[in-house]
Amino acid sequence: MSRSSQQAPAVRSYRRAFVVLGILCLGLFGAATAYLLRDTSLGAPAGDALVAVASTAPPMVADAGVPSVPSATSGASPIQTPRPTRTALPTATSTTTRRAASARTLRPPPRYTPSPTAAPSPTSVALPPAATGAANRMVIGNSVLGRPLEVTQFGNGPLELMIIAGIHGGTEVNTIELADQLGEYLSSHPEIVPPNVTLWMLRALNPDGEAKGRVWSARGNENGVDLNRNFPALWEADWDRGGCWDYMRLTSGPEPGSEPETQALMRFLLTHHVDALINYHSSALGIFAGGQPPDPESSRLAQRIGDISEYPYPPIDTGCSYSGQLIDWASDHGIAAIDVELSNELDTDFEQNLAILAAFLAWQPERQ
């Protein structure tokens, strides 16, 4: 048998094997192509899908429009929470006269006399001077839960002025932050206080509310009392809520001056014969003068602060009726008193309030 005839069957076997192998390769290639085409038709890969979901998910929003507290995790960058959307105020007008409580329930404001059995006197609990150099600090009383009401003194002159913040606790915490900023500035620049002036700073009249944080219930004290409705001036057991803050039900207390925070502040103001005060609030309504109608000295102080600031005076009238107010009680006792409302619930308006501080320190009463 020739060599060519012997190789023929082997060649045919190889050819058949190559054909079969080729068919298998074509089959595998086709299957792979079909699989890839099918996967592409499903859309973006899983990783991109997760990114897309994350980018369209709504941001976490704190309850009741209150900014979230940044995470305390070490090294984590604080999350910038969007500012709460402000609800447009009712159609408002400016007026120098605030709406008093209903005439059918009004009665002459009772005169407050410090009780000999009340909490400790304003000077009974002295604190060490602040590390930054404040002249003196003292506890003038305590909150419902026993938190101290701390007052800081700057200067030592016969004309006594006072700045009060935090009457509405955590809902107006930017007023407390402003008081802290002003206190730090005064401690670093004690020379700005004139020699004839003593300035008292009460950073938080409602420390229990401050401790609750930015929640609606933090507006009242621990008894659920709106302290700025608790003073013995046109006090009412309840009031018309129209045009007023009414996100939750607070009371004015069981009787005028019932709350320990109210009592401590009244006692301090009368004991020290304070001549004028600024009570900080937020937000946006402007400057209110004490008295209904406003007394001349409170009006003069309000006009002066309005002239050098962007806060409106006369203030915006939303139709709210005012009863049991600190500045009205102060006016009844011969103290020039104003409410100053910051521009919003978050910012301290520090630069603007430095100008207000300078004007307040330069203010002189005209009455004898």
Q: How many CA atoms lie within 13 A of 65 on its CB side?
A: 10
Per-residue pLDDT at 89: 37
Q: How many CA atoms lie within 13 A of 205 on its CB side?
A: 33
Taking the domain 98-362, which CATH number applies?
3.40.630.10
- The enclosing H or E element of 148 equals strand 148-155
- How many whole angstroms separate alpha carbon 267 and alpha carbon 244? 28
The answer to whether 227 and 220 have CB atoms below 8 angstroms apart is yes
- The gap between the terminal CA atoms of the chain, to the nearest Å, is 145
Which value, to the nearest 10 degrees, does the dihedral of the CA atoms of residues 113, 119, 122, 126 take?
Answer: 170
The two structure tokens encoding residue 206: 């409602």
Residue the block writes with tokens 């006692």: 267
Per-residue pLDDT at 181: 98
H-helix segments, 80-190: 173-188
The answer to whether 235 and 256 have CB atoms below 8 angstroms apart is yes
The model carries a pTM of 0.69
Per-residue pLDDT at 115: 40
The answer to whether 257 and 112 have CB atoms below 8 angstroms apart is yes
- In sequence order, the β-bridge partners of residue 117 are none
Per-residue pLDDT at 3: 40
Residue the block writes with tokens 């005839």: 5
DSSP letter for 98, please.
Answer: P
**What is the DSSP secondary-structure string of 304-321?**
HHHHTSSS-SSPEE-S-E
The answer to whether 315 and 287 have CB atoms below 8 angstroms apart is yes
Per-residue pLDDT at 61: 32
The answer to whether 280 and 165 have CB atoms below 8 angstroms apart is yes
Rg (CA), the chain: 35
Q: Give pLDDT tens digits along the chain (368 positions).
A: 434 444 445 545 556 666 556 666 666 666 555 544 444 333 333 233 322 323 333 332 333 333 333 333 333 333 233 333 333 433 445 555 555 543 323 333 333 344 433 333 444 455 554 444 445 999 999 999 999 999 999 999 999 999 999 999 999 999 999 999 999 999 999 999 999 999 999 999 999 999 999 999 999 999 999 999 999 999 999 888 888 988 888 999 999 999 999 999 999 999 999 999 999 999 889 999 999 999 999 999 999 999 999 999 999 999 999 999 999 999 999 999 999 999 999 999 999 999 999 999 999 998 65
Beta carbons within 8 Å of 234's beta carbon, 6+ residues apart: 100, 101, 106, 109, 292, 322, 323, 324, 325, 328
- How many whole angstroms separate alpha carbon 14 and alpha carbon 49? 50
Per-residue pLDDT at 77: 34
- How many whole angstroms separate alpha carbon 173 and alpha carbon 213? 8
Q: For the chain, give me the number of helices (H) and strands (E)?
A: 8, 12
Residue the block writes with tokens 């050819």: 15
Residue the block writes with tokens 């404040």: 134
The answer to whether 232 and 257 have CB atoms below 8 angstroms apart is yes
Q: Which of 205, 218, 312 is nearest to 264 (CA)?
A: 205
What values do phi and psi take at 235, rounded to 5?
Answer: -65, 145
